[in-house]
Amino acid sequence: MAASKAGADSGRRALELLFAFTEQRPVASVRQLAEDLEIPVPTAHRYVALLRDMGLIEERERGQYHLTMRVAALGRAARRATPLVHIAEPYMRELSEQIDETVILVRMVHGLPVCIHRVESLRPFRLSFETGQNMPPLRGASVRLLIGGLPPAERERFVDQALATGTPPPVHGRDAFLEEIERAVQQGWDISQEEIDQGIWAASAPIKEGTITRAALSAPCPAFRLDEGKRDAVIDLVRKTAERISQALTS
């Protein structure tokens, strides 16, 4: 059992190293990757060698590595296998054009919130997560709505399990977070202010298939571009777009 657990942990670490490559930093050295994962450099070398042997990363120049097109093919396969993305895509593009901001789609994957799709505006900005990456499990409007899709007892269990793993706690504490979840569920949308990225305000609304929450639609916006009127307009459009996607899912 100990050997099995060690193997699973190594596999998880190798995948975490793979996810350390982003659009903002597509090329990285072994030392940079080791710092990202907070592991020794020799250990990072071992994971890099494993991923290189599998054809997932390759060395572009001395000591600098990047993802291969094999990873891109995996991404395309995942998108084709996700009907929700195909259904939501045109609505997300329309919303992005209406508000002139980036729009993202978030859903639970293996018990963690993941950004599964992203439509960039013509005024892109940097977020701390990319498509396919996990988001903080106890931060943000989208996460509250996704957790809100669970029965109350399961919400508490989710929060407590996340806290037990050392994940960053909710901004206002556990009990206040559970109250915020219930409030978001009751009103059918939620907002967040700098909970994940500094200077970012976001509005989110749930996407449902019948009574089941399948995902959350969110518009993260640089706060400096918004006044009260623009915030109200973004909330309204995000909410209406999520409702349209929900209707398309059930039709």
Share of the chain above pLDDT 90, in %: 56
pLDDT one-digit tens code per residue, 183-198? 999 999 999 998 988 8
Q: Say yes or no to pLDDT of 159 above 90.
A: yes
Contact yes or no for 52/59 (Cβ under 8 A): yes
Answer whether residue 64 shows pLDDT above 80: yes
Per residue in 73-88, pLDDT tens? 776 666 555 689 989 9
Whole-angstrom distance, CA of residue 122 vs CA of residue 124: 6
Average pLDDT on 162-188 reads 92
Q: Kind of pairing, strands 57-61 and 64-67?
A: antiparallel
